[in-house]
Amino acid sequence: MKTLPFAFFLFCVASFSQAEDWQNWLGPQHNGRSSELLPQGDSQKIKPIVLWEAEVGIGFSSISVAKNRVYTMGNSQGQEMLWCFSAQDGKLIWSDHYPAELMPRMHEGGPGSTPSVHQNRVYTISKDGQLHSYSADQGKLLWHKNLMKISDLKKVPEWGFAASPVIYKNLLLVEAGATFAFDKISGALIWKSDSFKPAYGSGQVFSVAGKDYLATLKTDGLVILSLTDGKTLAYARWRTSFQTNATTPLSLGDGKLFISTGYDRGCALFSFDGKDLQQDYENKNMCNHMGNSVLIDGYLYGFDGTAHRGRPVEFTCIEAATGKKQWQRQDLKYGSLIAVGKDLLILTETGKVLYGTASPKSFTPRSQFDALPGRCWTPPAYANGKLYVRNAAGKLRAFSFGGE
């Protein structure tokens, strides 16, 4: 019997003890972070292994993992697909499909929303605004809503529906110009917020003095909503030159909200005290185009710049409290990232995975490998010791880290 390297053994033990699912967009803590650990040993002895792969159709939907099942979406020949695979071996457990537009506009098209899994239910939003609730175990359709019919929208948003469903207690929160709160079990409409120009990022639940609120970055600006009735409590104008905001507000705790958008609009830190929304700073040191930054020990890491437009994209670190830039590097070009423990895990646009310790002084990956061909704009997911990545064409791969 071949003996595994000791470093790999330690990694397996640590990962198992902290294993967790990645049930929705931005993961279990809604901030792009996993509490698991990545390999810490010799990268030459801890090599990535492709556990399985699947073709899921064109799109940018990310991956959700719950109870040893993997969910994602894609589009093939005018049909949008929801897939449920075994996390262990990639075996197809169930799928569903329905007519939906591809909407290829300056990219491949296909769904941009990520499935949300909660208490044996899966919630999805199609590119053209079809909201579905399924049983997670068998894929039975439980209820369906057409967001175009119940919203004030006259046409599908320019880039389609891309926000992911957010679960809060008994509510399912959905972005469709206005924010809609449905009963997560029955699908009944509970409340609807004021109408805004639709954006493409998801809402973020955050707390102030023990009370919860919803922050959402509309194309018009940052909006704070009551979770009781959807009333607008505060608003700060935030617009880009292309009338597109596509990121999720990031809660930093104590009512602090970080937002960042592309097209050289920049970033800002806001403070909400339950009544008033104040801006702490604004600058152009971090312009997140589509993917969010992640926060580790008081510093934000992300891709600064707009893909294929204007100045070169830089991978950047800023101090969260002040917005001061710590460093930047241009060699990675465009990409997305998550955090696993104290490590950054990056998927570049060209399909290379890099990971290494986050530091406000610099970033030096301790390992990297080619994970996928083609365009890769979708953030990866990490759950129960496995890494999941996909490309725009629809190739999905699951990786583990094995020994020599």
Contact 336, 377 (CB under 8 A): yes
Per-residue pLDDT tens digits for 224-264:
999 999 999 999 999 998 888 999 999 999 999 999 999 99
pLDDT in tens, 66-89: 999 999 999 999 999 999 999 999
CA distance 24 to 116: 4
Q: Is 15 helix (H, G, I), strand (E, B) or coil?
A: helix
Q: State the Cα–Cα distance between residues 121 and 123, nearest whole angstrom.
A: 7
SS3 call for 351: coil
**In degrees, to the nearest 5, what angle opens at C-alpha 393 toward C-alphas 95 and 291?**
95
Residues in CB range of 373: below 8 A, 6 or more apart: 351, 391, 395
Instruction: Give per-residue pLDDT as tens, 221-232.
Output: 999 999 999 999
Assign 45 a pLDDT band (cuts: 50, 70, 90): low
7 pLDDT higher than 70:
no
d(CA 213, CA 234): 11
pLDDT at 40: 84
**Which token pair is 5?**
């390297």
**Residue closest to 163 by CA, chosen among 292, 52, 7:** 292
pLDDT, mean of residues 273-298? 97
CA distances 143 to 51, 113, 124, 191, Å, are 34, 18, 11, 18
Q: What is the pLDDT of residue 311?
A: 81
Strand partners, 117: 122
Write the pLDDT tens digit of every residue in 353-391.
999 999 999 999 999 999 999 999 999 999 999 999 999
CATH number at 22-402: 2.130.10.10
79-105 exposure pattern, b = at least 16 Cβ within 10 A, e = fewer:
ebbbbbbebeebeebbebbeebebbee
7, burial (CB in 10 Å: exposed 0-12, middle 13-18, buried 19+): middle
The answer to whether residue 4 scores a pLDDT higher than 70 is no
9 φ/ψ angles, rounded to the nearest 5 degrees: -60, -45
**Token output for 24:** 């929705």
Does the CA dihedral 133-134-135-140 come out positive or negative?
A: positive
Choose between 16 and 189: higher pLDDT.
189
Task: Count Cβ neighbours within 10 Å for each residue of 349-367 and write b for 16 or more, e otherwise.
Answer: bbbbbbbbbbbbeebebbb
Work out the angle at residue 325's Cα, subtended by the Cα atoms of residues 324 and 331, and round it to the nearest 5 degrees.
170
Look at 68 and 7; give whichever has higher pLDDT. Answer: 68
| Phi-psi region at 385: left, alpha or beta (left = phi > 0; alpha = psi -120 to 50) | left
Q: Which residues contact 12 (CB under 8 A, 6 or more apart)?
A: 4, 385
pLDDT value of position 13: 41
Q: Summarize pLDDT for 150-163 with one digit per residue, the tens.
A: 998 999 999 999 99
